[in-house]
Amino acid sequence: MNKNTEPTIHDIARELNISASTVSRALNNNPRISLKTKEKIKAVADSMGYRPNTLASNLRNKKSNRIGIVVPLINRHFFSSVISGVEDVAYKAGYNVVISQSNDLASKEIEIVHSMFTNRVDGLIISIAMQTENFDHLKLFRKKHIPLVFFDRAVPEIETDKIVVDDFDGGFRVTQHLINQGYKRIGHLAGPQNLRTYFDRKNGYIEALKQNGVFYDESLVLVNTLTSEDGTLAAQQLMSLQNPPDAIFCGNDTTALSLMIYLRDKGFRIPQDIGIVGFSNEPFSKVVSPSISTIAQPGFEMGQKAAELIIRKIENQERTYQTIVLPTELIIRESSDRGKSGQSQ
Amino acid sequence: MNKNTEPTIHDIARELNISASTVSRALNNNPRISLKTKEKIKAVADSMGYRPNTLASNLRNKKSNRIGIVVPLINRHFFSSVISGVEDVAYKAGYNVVISQSNDLASKEIEIVHSMFTNRVDGLIISIAMQTENFDHLKLFRKKHIPLVFFDRAVPEIETDKIVVDDFDGGFRVTQHLINQGYKRIGHLAGPQNLRTYFDRKNGYIEALKQNGVFYDESLVLVNTLTSEDGTLAAQQLMSLQNPPDAIFCGNDTTALSLMIYLRDKGFRIPQDIGIVGFSNEPFSKVVSPSISTIAQPGFEMGQKAAELIIRKIENQERTYQTIVLPTELIIRESSDRGKSGQSQ
DNA sequence: CTAAAATGTGCAATCGATTGCATATTTATT
DNA sequence: AATAAATATGCAATCGATTGCACATTTTAG
């Protein structure tokens, strides 16, 4: 009558008049079981449509085979690429990927991280929310020795594995490129400075100015949360300065685009009057017109690396931490290419 | 010494000299436990840093509190939006979302679906891979009465809940719009016809032609897998016809863009010489130049609805199935707007 | 002041797979 | 032939939370 009870190893054992232990061992390829017995057991298991109950196995093994991943927004190309990379590697290694989004809210991030902990993920891969400033929820993972990997937005004060891109270098190269293109007053639209990524991009920018002997004018640097609206506002603000910039390095592609649209509507020619560079290589940056120069971050690869790293930690109990810095790629497109140097592509 | 053993209800029980049953009941707010006892127990649980082991609880309850979601590609805006919507609702209802991608491969989809089953998800939300033509792996869920919800790409022959957009209507409206704009020979670049979505879009297109008394010329319809390359090839093919189209309704935005770029390079003016409409409202469609007219599909809402539906099924054991058809929105942009009618926006 | 009803708590089995230890059987060694 | 070694299998406890049933205590009713 109760058709929805799945067969268990006990059912298989009963069928064959052997013990459940033997069935379990046979199915797990334990060398203590003879080949003949194994084959017999596997045949019966198949015929009964047996599927191991991972819940039970997980409980017994104190291992969930689950990797948690927390991102600010699933629905953003960079993040979904990372997720895709994590899934790719995790799936092949037999792990499930449990996903949650913080919506860039510290409060939700804390909730999620606790929930992931309670749900006994074997490891957590996370890019922290913009707002997060207290990290006790993550320290919990460190304290309990549950592998934790940061990607992109890492927390400097927590010692663990990190996969980041070289944001400093990215900011540096963008700025150097703009200088090479002959721009003289280069502004920067930066993201929240509590996030290392944005902090580094800005410092790369400053360093490039310095190395080129360009005066660093703080009034040309704005900090906000880099939404589309922020981009428009920033454009207004920067262009109403006494001495406005002739190039703007934007903290992401979204603001680069909104800023560009605003400027174009105001009659500025891009890149002739104003050069613009974004960051992240969002899919649209390549296809808008003018196409937006930007820094490509290898999202998929970051996800793969993060998954590889965390699985190694889960399985080997390694206790040494590494920070993998992936190279960025400067993609020069129309929005900053005045043809002043040969490095365009 | 063994510091990494988490406290269990037994530890709490021992601490208070009561039984684990009472602790369990107290923590679950069972009315049979007095308020006083409950408070005492909860206080001790907190002080010990107790966190229920969901693995054990899941095993006992035969419920994993997990919803599986399978998409062709995580890393695609429409799908990541759906995932985002699912996560949004599922998280609030106390479910974890386990994610996997089929890469549009039937073989991987089958593997994943089996794995989701073995991992005892409480329900599965899926949009099938382009190639999938046999659906036994999904019938398994139906047979075992595990809630199954299709979104976007549904399987007609499996009776279960479905969340789709009205692709027929979408195709119809796109075509009607092109006719209204004065285009005379409207081609269509269709996706695999085993997928209902693409099949319906095409039929909507045909029906609109018919209703407007426009001759349906089959040579103007191409079927492929709608990659960027397919778009370029289709453009070549269509424009080399004896009597080429003056408008093309593309099965997605990706092909609309690649096709548009190809045509522009060949000197065609868009929308004057050729009108183009895509499908899906990818983020880039709004920002490219000319911007691409398209059909918006409410991905996030689809995800929310799918999650709501599956949770209701999981929790109420409802046995009636519904197909929710979400409305699409025709977004008229530059690529098809010759100003012939007042309905542009 | 009892009997009946209501309330509070515990025992022990259960969910399904795993594994240390013990036992039984077969093969090898001297 | 007797013992050691190797091979094959089973018993029963375990992972941690849940719950039917039983028992104990308190409250209410008659």
Dist. CA B231–CA B217, nearest whole Å: 19
Dist. CA B280–CA B329, nearest whole Å: 10
A101, A29: one domain: no
B66 interaction partners in chain A (CB closer than 8 Å) = 98
Judge whether B51 and B45 are in contact, CB under 8 Å: no
Tell me the nearest-neighbour CA distance from B96 into chain A, angstroms.
7
B282, B172: one domain: yes
Count of CB atoms situated within 10 Å of the CB of B73:
16
- A241 CB closer than 7 A to any strand D atom: no
Residue-wise pLDDT for A3-48, tens only, equals 357 899 999 998 888 989 999 999 988 888 888 888 889 999 999 9
Residue written as token pair 């820094």: A295
DSSP B63: -
Dist. CA A105–CA A115, nearest whole Å: 15
Do the domain assignments include residue B58?
no
Dist. CA A113–CA A140, nearest whole Å: 9
* Strand, coil or helix: A121: coil
- Whether residues B288 and A283 touch (CB distance < 8 A) is answered with no
DSSP A344: -
Tell me the nearest-neighbour CA distance from A138 into chain B, angstroms.
15
- Whether residues A97 and B99 touch (CB distance < 8 A) is answered with yes
CATH of the domain at B22: 1.10.260.40
Residue of chain B nearest A4, judged by CA positions: B144
Do the domain assignments include residue B1?
no
Judge whether B174 and B205 are in contact, CB under 8 Å: yes
Do the domain assignments include residue B258?
yes
- Whether residues B287 and A284 touch (CB distance < 8 A) is answered with yes
pLDDT of amino acid B4: 52
Residue-wise pLDDT for B55-68, tens only, equals 999 999 999 999 99
CATH of the domain at A153: 3.40.50.2300
Per-residue pLDDT band at A221 (split at 50, 70, 90): very high
Distance, CA of A317 to C1' of D13, in Å: 27
B120, B224: one domain: no
**pLDDT at B300 > cutoff 50:** yes
Probe site for chain B from A6, A51, A55 (most B CB atoms < 10 A): A55
B27, B73: one domain: no
- A236 CB closer than 7 A to any strand C atom: no
Dist. CA B76–CA B127, nearest whole Å: 13
Tell me the nearest-neighbour CA distance from B109 into chain A, angstroms.
12
Residue B143 structure tokens: 């047979």
Judge whether A221 and A300 are in contact, CB under 8 Å: no
B237, B306: one domain: no
B194, B146: one domain: no
Judge whether A68 and A116 are in contact, CB under 8 Å: yes
pLDDT of amino acid B33: 84
Beta-sheet pairing, B186-190 with B148-151: unpaired
Q: Which of A99-103, B37-41, B69-73 has the lowest mean pLDDT?
A: B37-41
Q: B150 φ, ψ to 5°? A: -95, 145
Distance, CA of B276 to C1' of C3, in Å: 88
Rounded to an integer, the average pLDDT of B227-245 is: 95
Do the domain assignments include residue B345?
no
pLDDT of amino acid A295: 97
Residue-wise pLDDT for A98-142, tens only, equals 999 999 999 999 999 999 998 999 999 999 998 888 999 999 898
**Higher model confidence: residue A321 or residue B289?**
A321
How far apart are the two ends of chain A, measured CA to CA in Å?
A: 69
B265, B175: one domain: yes
Tell me the nearest-neighbour CA distance from B87 into chain A, angstroms.
6
Judge whether B150 and B126 are in contact, CB under 8 Å: yes
Q: Which residues contact B63 (CB under 8 A, 6 or more apart)?
A: B122
pLDDT of amino acid B101: 96
**pLDDT at B3 > cutoff 70:** no
Distance, CA of A219 to C1' of C30, in Å: 95
Dist. CA A332–CA A340, nearest whole Å: 12
Probe site for chain B from A5, A287, A297 (most B CB atoms < 10 A): A287
Q: Which of A131-145, A258-272, B94-108 has the lowest mean pLDDT?
A: A131-145
Q: What is the pTM of this model?
A: 0.89
- Whether residues B284 and A289 touch (CB distance < 8 A) is answered with no
Q: Which of A1-15, A135-149, B80-94 has the lowest mean pLDDT?
A: A1-15
Residue B306 structure tokens: 């799918």
Do the domain assignments include residue A60?
no
Residue with minimal CA–C1' distance to D17 is B57
Task: Name the average pLDDT for chain B.
Answer: 92
Residues β-bridged to residue B324: B163
Instruction: Check the CA dihedral A334-A335-A341-A342 and report its sign.
Output: negative
Do the domain assignments include residue B3?
no
B159, B303: one domain: yes
Residue with minimal CA–C1' distance to C6 is B32
Dist. CA B345–CA B331, nearest whole Å: 7
pLDDT of amino acid B73: 94
Judge whether A80 and B283 are in contact, CB under 8 Å: no
B253, B184: one domain: yes
pLDDT of amino acid B224: 95
Instruction: Please name which of A116, A113, A126, A120 lies closest in space to residue A86, comparing C-alpha atoms.
Output: A126
Per-residue pLDDT band at A186 (split at 50, 70, 90): very high
**pLDDT at B223 > cutoff 90:** yes
Judge whether B168 and B206 are in contact, CB under 8 Å: no
Q: In what order do the strands lie in the sheet with B186-190?
A: B221-223, B186-190, B247-250, B275-277
Residue of chain A nearest B258, judged by CA positions: A287
- Whether residues B99 and A83 touch (CB distance < 8 A) is answered with yes
Judge whether B78 and B253 are in contact, CB under 8 Å: no
Dist. CA A125–CA B152, nearest whole Å: 29
pLDDT of amino acid A344: 38
pLDDT of amino acid B289: 83
Residue A182 structure tokens: 């002959």
**% of chain B exceeding 70 in pLDDT:** 97
Judge whether A81 and A303 are in contact, CB under 8 Å: yes
Residue written as token pair 């006994």: A120
Judge whether B86 and B125 are in contact, CB under 8 Å: yes
B113 interaction partners in chain A (CB closer than 8 Å) = none
Rounded to an integer, the average pLDDT of B307-316 is: 92
**pLDDT at A342 > cutoff 80:** no
> How many structural domains compose chain B?
3
DSSP B280: B
Per-residue pLDDT band at B317 (split at 50, 70, 90): low
Annotate B126-172 with DSSP letters as a single string: E---TT----HHHHHHHHTT--EEEESS--TTS-SEEEEE-HHHHHH
Beta-sheet pairing, B123-126 with B148-151: parallel
B293, B175: one domain: yes
A290, A303: one domain: no
Annotate B15-37 with DSSP letters as a single string: HHTS-HHHHHHHHTT-TTS-HHH
Task: Name the average pLDDT for chain A.
Answer: 92
Residue of chain B nearest A73, judged by CA positions: B84
Do the domain assignments include residue B191?
yes
- Across all strands, nucleotide nearest A19 (CA–C1'): D10
**% of chain A exceeding 70 in pLDDT:** 97
Per-residue pLDDT band at A339 (split at 50, 70, 90): confident
Do the domain assignments include residue A342?
no
pLDDT of amino acid A341: 57
* Secondary structure of A164-229 in HEC code, one letter for each residue: EECHHHHHHHHHHHHHHCCCCCEEEEECCCCCHHHHHHHHHHHHHHHHCCCCCCHHHEEECCCCHH
Print the domain residue range for A286. Answer: 167-297+330-336
- A59 CB closer than 7 A to any strand C atom: yes
* Strand, coil or helix: A326: strand
Rounded to an integer, the average pLDDT of A49-71 is: 93
* Strand, coil or helix: A270: coil
Distance, CA of A37 to C1' of D13, in Å: 25
Q: B269 φ, ψ to 5°? A: -95, 135
Beta-sheet pairing, B329-331 with B294-296: antiparallel
A76, A37: one domain: no
DSSP B245: -
Distance, CA of A44 to C1' of C26, in Å: 26
